[in-house]
Chain A
């Protein structure tokens, strides 16, 4: 009864003195409209000028927090006004981060499609000047080096995480944990210099090999694998280990047949995300594996091209027909992004479908 009377007379004390639910949207629309009018007025004098839509939206978006703050301050008071200002800024921060993502993806797709053709995936850059050619040599190199790095890093990383979770106690485990964290922060180019230094000392300065590139990637990949596998192994409930021990199963078989199978989906997700991370690495390969226009299948002999390095070289040292080089660079960037996205999607799918079904 009381509720209906107050609603009918429109004097609900809890709703008094507040802006309506839709008011912020009206204010936003007003700000954008004002901004467009302003831009139009400013450009009205210059003949043939087109309206700067992006600029108008940005200026309108800057107007909005000020406007909503002022309006709210007058109607609702200082506390509520501050709350509305922060809300506007927080939403603004998210939209601001979307801007580079959207422009980046759209330009890569728009520019990349020009050379995203069969020739791109079937030809190398051997004796190509100007237009034509493709990145097959770079794709082969990326595949070989990433695969080698994965084959080396996964066993080391996985066994290390097993050590940290199942065996590690005391100072050594603490040291490994600490230095894995340190390793996570190694700049990628330093990893490249490291791999280069090894081979320079062994085979003389200037040695650049596919295997050196793979080793530099390994240095970057190991800590990622350790971290993610460690988290996954820690998620396995201790009760399962105890159940296995109580059946008279030795520790190593418990780890191998109970702990690892329970966490395998998470571990695989981590490994794929780690691959996605290193497959786009440029700097270490630039330093350690060098660059070439030729197809090379031999990890132990000669320089090896990779997709990111190929993109980089098309960009920094274009030949006479600049556009042809840039088109190849964009097509390479598009390929890279597609590979990375695909790996991310696969990782998420594995995480979702193979997650251990919890009993309780």
Chain B
């Protein structure tokens, strides 16, 4: 009897308190959507003058077209983040395994906190450390590398005298994304079904064989999405790069020389204070591009996490 069913399903009368409370909860949620839409809208509005203005009137551009100004920055952003990820991911997996499967049980949580401390250090302090401590300390290694391995394009000379190269910036970025990737991997590794682990151990597997057969396959989507989130963070990191890297523009694969491509975020931070007129619009336009890049990276990461949730139902 569908016609009698309808009134039975009708919403019960709402009390005023309920209406106010659920209304404000809904308003708060909608406001978040509005803020995000606002971020996109305001950046787009402020970017429009870049398209409409003659490049010759934007003096940062120095007469070149917009895209040839942005290209090296986009390259520098992606390149520095990629190198950072290449260093951070294996180490993060190692640390996560150490905490989840190697360290003594009683120490594991405390050791986890120590790694989390790295995430708590403000980026400006990382910048200070990278520029004043790491760069001078690592410069001799760069000289040695260009001298002895200079035939590899990555290590082509001449080595930078200050050590403030894109590799140094990437090392700092790697240290900064390390705790993010570690935390997620650790969580995934700890969720490995104990049954699978015990099955492997009962077959006489060594600890590494157990990890290879039970833990890593289970954690693979987690590792991938953690890496993507780390990448998102590295792409948008501003201060550490601005304070460590001495950039001169131009696209080059050489890691150790003094001519390095800049990154979008660092470029904005370095130029914004002195920028005026349409130069500001130009910088905002590059920010919009950075926003789009990180958006894509993060959405891919979330998509992988979401897919894993569907599959983990079977476990």
Contacts and interface: CB of A to CB of B under 8 A. Distances in A.
A–B contact with Cβ pairs below 8 Å: the answer is: yes
Interface stretch (B57-65, B121-129, B150-158, B160-168): B121-129
B104 interface: no
A97 B118 contact: yes
B22 interface: yes
Contact size range, A: 35 or more
Contact of B28 (A155, A181, A329): A155
B29 A193 contact: no
A308 B239 contact: yes
A91 to B, nearest CB: 6
Contacts of B178: 97
Contacts, number: 277
A94 interface: yes
A344 B134 CA distance: 26
Nearest to A205: B280
A156 B25 CA distance: 8
Contacts of A94: 94-95, 98-99, 103, 111
A98 B298 contact: no
B33 A340 contact: no
Interface in B10-35: 15, 17-18, 20-22, 24-33, 35
Interface in A214-230: 219, 222-223, 226
A81 to B, nearest CB: 10
B295 A308 contact: no
Nearest to A309: B124
Given A93-B95, A186-B294, A197-B42, A326 B25 contact: no
Interface in A280-296: 280-283, 286-287, 290-291
B122 A308 contact: yes
A311 B124 contact: yes
Interface in B253-273: 265, 268-270, 272-273
A184 B229 CA distance: 10
Interface string B91-127: 1111101110011000000010111011011111111
A276 interface: yes
B243 interface: yes
A256 interface: yes
B206 A159 contact: no
Interface string A216-258: 0001001100100000000000000000000000111101100
Given A163-B28, A311-B128, A83 B208 contact: yes
Q: Which 5 A-B pairs have the closest CB atoms?
A: A187-B236, A280-B122, A93-B94, A159-B28, A185-B298
Interface of B: 15, 17-18, 20-22, 24-33, 35-36, 38-39, 42-43, 45-46, 90-95, 97-99, 102-103, 111, 113-115, 117-118, 120-129, 131-134, 175, 178, 182, 206-209, 211, 229, 232-233, 235-239, 242-243, 265, 268-270, 272-273, 276-277, 280, 283-284, 287, 290-291, 294-295, 297-299, 302
